[in-house]
Amino acid sequence: MPRTDGVGAWLQITPLMTVLTLFLVVPIVTIAVVSFWGYNEWSFFPDFTLENYEYHLTAKVTWQTYLTTVKYVALTWIFTVVIGFTVAYFLAFHVRSLTWQIALFLVCTIPFWTSNIIRMISWIPFLGREGLANNALIAVGAIDKPLEFLLFSDFAVILAFVHLYALFMVVPIFNTMMRIDKSLIEAARDAGASSFQTLTNVIIPLSKPGIMIGSIFVVTLVMGDFITVRFMSGSQSASVGRLIQNEISLLQYPAAAASAVVLLITVLLMIGIMMRFVNIRKEL
Amino acid sequence: MTTNATLELASVTKRYGDTVAVDAINQRINAGSYCCLLGPSGCGKSSTLRMIAGHETVSIGDIILGGTNITDLPPARRGTAMMFQNYALFPHLSVIDNVAFSLKMRGIGMAERLGAAGDLLDLVHMTAYADRYPNQLSGGQQQRVALARALITKPSILLLDEPLSALDPFLRLRMRLELKKLQRELGISFIHVTHSQDEALALADLILVMNEGRIEQDGSPHDIFNAPKTEFVARFIGGHNVVDQDGGRVAIRADRIAVAKRGDGGSTLEASVRDVEFLGTTVNLALEAAAGDITVSLPDGDFFDDPIEIGDTVFLSWNAADAHQLAA
């Protein structure tokens, strides 16, 4: 091969660079720029003002919304970790044949054949006041009158989040677990570890990178969500995403951009903190 | 440590579905011996070891260690410890934590278990690496750590599954010496699975040659090498010729065959020289005889006193005592 001064290398990374620049860097820079613009009731205009940030960061509603959003993140994370770890553990260590592992894994992905929104909305006839769940519970005599908290509540929001995002936890954890050398489990048993000790001393520590990757998925998805919160809470709860959506619908683009920048920084900080705990680089 | 740790296998059998991996093995392994399970892959040697370790259930039969029936006991309560083929060190634990692992599982306090682990690291000369992680160690170092980890439970038998196969040839010879030395110092039994006859001959007090789930022959390395009882053993252990004679098949060591350039009319075998291989201290002749291919190993001095060329016809003879009758 003839010697090149890196031209070949530059050519090779050009397609990816172009895509990332056009669809990631340019939009983010645009948002960052617009977040400093000014606006009034009918228009927005180039400017350099910190008012958008000042208003966003000092408004009580922002802090309440962040609190609600973080609550959603925390609860969703707890449930998806428990469910994701359990499912992945079952697939990786209890299902012995590779064929069955692949088959069951594909079964897990079946819900993804329909869109998020449809999966979310399909909870409504199930959870509603006259929905399947309430009717069934009344029919078996477990309750006298419909349970009100099932739909249009935090419960419904969390349920939908867990339903939508549990697989994002299953996949990376399963992937890490499949790489655990089975002889390590035997070695633990040989050293007298009980099943529970093997779980806590060997499997969980070795699954940490997968748990962390899944957590990053879940945290970023829930932090940025607006549609699930809107549908499942019946527009009664707010999240940071909904805040931004509202500002956009009021055509307050600079305000929305400032909120978006703050959200982006918050999410990046959260990921940064998570990465400090576990080194996921060797998984990628 | 159990003082009388004689291991007895009583018609131990392992079946996987319809396949019999280990077929009713009866064997006694005395306390404090270095025993090698030798055989080709798939002969059942690993299954046997894993059954002794408790990582494989026994289909039929009993395993008795020091008078206790350990057939159905969990691995950690048998008085055995296993060193795995790829060492199976925990990648997320430092060397000292790996070694102390089983003590931690037993709920022994930090100071005490790290002290005990330190002593064992000392034994395998790995004290300087206590804080390293397994992926920062060479193959030989990982093996020492795996040894220390297995020994910390003070087992009466250490089970080693192809312990040297992952090492390069130079390191293999060195670790071989160290294993033997360690076994002598500790005075416990080592049961070592290998497919290498050199390893078995060099290490073992007792060799069990296995084939198709059975023990073909058991004995000291000297007995096995000098007097193989079956054709399989003769061929697997190497250095032997299997020759058809009037009374049946016999095995003759390649270095116990005399080569002459002229027949004396006695009971000699005529053969033509197909190949000559110089191996340093010996010269191997590959010969073609009516009875089949024969290898003769000559001391280099004898060979160079009267060299033999490819294509020569030679006459072979041996002492009747050196021809060992093989079981049909």
- B139-151 per-position pLDDT tens digit: 889 999 999 999 9
Among chain B residues, the shortest Cα distance to A209 is held by B92
User: Inter-chain contact B82–A202, Cβ cutoff 8 Å?
Assistant: no
Q: Structural domain boundaries of chain A? A: 60-275
pLDDT-wise least confident of A104-108, A250-254, B207-211, B244-248: B244-248
**Given this model, what pLDDT does residue B29 score?**
93
The answer, for A205 touching chain B at a CB cutoff of 8 Å, is yes
Indicate the residue type of A124. I
A84: Cβ contacts below 8 Å, ≥ 6 apart:
A166, A167, A168, A169, A170, A173, A211, A214
pLDDT-wise least confident of A27-36, A240-249, A273-282, B25-34: A273-282
Kindly report whether the global pTM for this prediction surpasses the value 0.90. no
Indicate the CATH number for domain A60-275: 1.10.3720.10
**DSSP-assigned letters across all residues of B79-125:** TEEEE-TT----TTS-HHHHHHHHHHHTT--HHHHHHHHHHHHHHTT
Closest partner residue to B53 (CB to CB) among A184, A190, A192 is A190
According to DSSP, the β-strands at B19-29 and B189-194 are unpaired
What are the backbone angles phi and psi of residue A160, rounded to the nearest 5°? -65, -45
Q: How far apart are CA B289 and CA B313, in angstroms?
A: 10
Torsion angle in degrees (nearest 10) through CA of A148, A152, A154, A157 = 130
User: Inter-chain contact B75–A197, Cβ cutoff 8 Å?
Assistant: no
Residue A4 has pLDDT above 80, yes or no: no
Residue B74: list chain A partners with CB under 8 A. 189, 192
Q: What angle do CA A195, A198, A199 make, to 5 degrees?
A: 90
User: Inter-chain contact B76–A191, Cβ cutoff 8 Å?
Assistant: yes
The answer, for A280 touching chain B at a CB cutoff of 8 Å, is no
User: Inter-chain contact A192–B88, Cβ cutoff 8 Å?
Assistant: no
Residue B263 has pLDDT above 80, yes or no: no
**Given this model, what pLDDT does residue B119 score?**
93
B49: Cβ contacts below 8 Å, ≥ 6 apart:
B37, B82, B159, B161, B191, B193
Q: How far apart are CA B7 and CA A279, in angstroms?
A: 46
User: Inter-chain contact A206–B92, Cβ cutoff 8 Å?
Assistant: yes
Radius of gyration of chain B (CA): 24
**Given this model, what pLDDT does residue A195 score?**
92
Q: How confident is the model over B186-230, as pLDDT tens digits?
A: 999 999 999 999 999 999 999 999 999 999 999 999 999 988 999
Among chain B residues, the shortest Cα distance to A202 is held by B90
Contact B150, B102 (CB under 8 A): no
A222: Cβ contacts below 8 Å, ≥ 6 apart:
A69, A72, A73, A76, A77, A161, A165
The answer, for A97 touching chain B at a CB cutoff of 8 Å, is no
Q: How confident is the model over A171-213, as pLDDT tens digits?
A: 999 999 999 999 999 999 999 999 999 999 999 999 999 999 9
**Given this model, what pLDDT does residue B105 score?**
93
Closest partner residue to B88 (CB to CB) among A187, A201, A205 is A187
The answer, for A41 touching chain B at a CB cutoff of 8 Å, is no
Among chain B residues, the shortest Cα distance to A208 is held by B92
